[in-house]
Amino acid sequence: MISLEAPVLAGSRPRAQQILKDLPSDLSQAVVELHCESLIAAAASFADEIVRSILVDRRARRLVVTGVSDEEFVGYLRDRADVHNVADRLQVFS
């Protein structure tokens, strides 16, 4: 499992790219866990970049998002996973 920490404010694609920059280009055998306990606010563009980069481009087996208290962010994640046809590989836990 690969663990990532979401920033307190996640408002852009470049911010998402910053936390993803050290990940391998092929995650096909990996489960990626994004810890959101410190997250206060996030934008749809951040959610899209996370979902697209991890599940579509790098083909992770699963993206597990934990500690989310921002329901709007949960909606963004689920919406973007639906758009990219990877909803079956996204798990979100509060």
- Residue ranges with strand state E in 1-94: 2-5, 9-10, 31-35, 41-42, 62-66, 90-92
Do residues 12 and 44 lie in contact, with contact meaning Cβ atoms separated by under 8 Å? no
Does the model's pTM come out above 0.85?
yes
44 contacts 13 by C-beta, under 8 angstroms = no
Band of pLDDT at residue 94, cut at 50, 70 and 90 = confident
Q: How far apart are CA 85 and CA 94, in angstroms?
A: 23
Q: What is the pLDDT of residue 43?
A: 95
For 30-79, what is each residue's pLDDT tens digit? 999 999 999 999 999 999 999 999 999 999 999 999 999 989 999 999 99
